[in-house]
């Protein structure tokens, strides 16, 4: 088989692999939404002066932040039910959805640290000035501190999303038909080891072309917000 034939075969399989890459994108988008929502509460919980809120928030953040993503993925795949009954209605929980929930745990923990770090980066004098003006701690946090933190959180949040997308191929191990799994299936179907390099190079290009603009934009935003 000539080199040109190898690349032609690779192109023929690209629609099949791209369908799997759409699954990677879908899982990453859902996981970042869920993780951001949960991570916001965990991050604010870490800042709470209430011991019963602050301690559990810190423990959960450190647990999920330092646990291997694959271990969390296995827990969600094998411990979560395959279906749930709500008001007599049976709802299926496919592997990709359970895997998405598994990815959302480390995302939530990492975003919790982003929230905590952003709030801590605001000068203490602003808290004291707001207190002198009669603002409560809650009002100071939501009206003065958090609005300033949004621009500080966006760049690391974007980097977290790019990292999340590159981690989604782990779901192949638990049976999700995503890009990596489909690439392996395509290589095996062709029964020619020479197609391995162009097939995996094409897969690498997909992830690079998707995540590189995100990383570049995060750097631009970081420089822009740093000058303000």
**Model confidence over 130-145: pLDDT tens digits?**
888 888 888 888 888 8
DSSP code for 215: H
Q: Residue 3, Cα to own-chain centre: how many angstroms?
A: 37
Whether the per-residue pLDDT at 151 is higher than 90: the answer is no
Cβ-in-10-Å burial (0-12, 13-18, 19+) of 204 comes to exposed
Please state the rounded mean pLDDT for residues 140-168.
Answer: 91
Count other C-beta atoms under 10 Å from residue 96's C-beta: 19
Task: Decide which of 6 and 42 is more confident.
Answer: 42
The reported pLDDT for the residue numbered 116 is 93
Tracing tokens 């822009």 back to the chain, one arrives at 224
Q: What is the pLDDT of residues 50-61, one digit of tens each?
A: 899 999 999 999
Confidence of residue 28 (pLDDT cuts 50, 70, 90): very high
Whether the per-residue pLDDT at 1 is higher than 60: the answer is no
- DSSP secondary structure, 147-207, as one string: HHHHHHHHHHHHHHHHHHHHHGGGGGGGT---HHHHHHHHHHHHT-GGGHHHHHHHHHHHH
Confidence of residue 159 (pLDDT cuts 50, 70, 90): very high
Q: Which CATH architecture has domain 3-226?
A: Orthogonal Bundle (1.10)
**pTM score of the predicted model:** 0.89
The reported pLDDT for the residue numbered 211 is 94
Please state the rounded mean pLDDT for residues 38-58.
Answer: 92
Whether the per-residue pLDDT at 180 is higher than 80: the answer is yes
Going from N- to C-terminal start, the domains of the chain cover: 3-226
The reported pLDDT for the residue numbered 22 is 95
Task: Decide which of 114 and 12 is more confident.
Answer: 114
């Amino acid at each position: 088989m000539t080199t040109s034939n190898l690349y032609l075969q690779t192109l023929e399989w690209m629609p099949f692999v791209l369908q799997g890459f759409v699954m990677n994108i879908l899982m990453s988008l859902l996981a970042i939404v869920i993780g951001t929502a949960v991570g916001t509460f965990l991050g604010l919980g870490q800042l709470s002066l209430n011991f019963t809120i602050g301690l559990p928030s810190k423990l959960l953040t450190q647990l999920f932040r330092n646990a291997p993503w694959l271990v969390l993925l296995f827990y969600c795949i094998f411990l979560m039910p395959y279906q749930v009954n709500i008001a007599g209605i049976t709802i299926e929980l496919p592997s990709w959805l359970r895997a998405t929930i598994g990815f959302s745990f480390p995302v939530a923990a990492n975003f919790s640290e982003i929230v905590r770090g952003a709030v801590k980066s605001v000068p203490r004098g602003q808290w004291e000035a707001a207190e002198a003006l009669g603002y409560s701690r809650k009002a100071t946090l939501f009206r003065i501190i958090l609005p300033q933190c949004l621009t500080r959180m966006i760049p690391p949040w974007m980097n977290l999303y790019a990292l999340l997308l590159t981690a989604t191929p782990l779901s192949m191990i638990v049976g999700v038909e995503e890009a990596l799994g489909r690439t392996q299936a395509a290589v095996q179907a062709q029964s020619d080891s020479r197609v391995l390099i162009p097939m995996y190079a094409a897969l690498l290009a997909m992830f690079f072309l998707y995540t590189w603009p995100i990383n570049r934009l995060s750097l631009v935003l970081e420089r822009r917000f740093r000058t303000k």
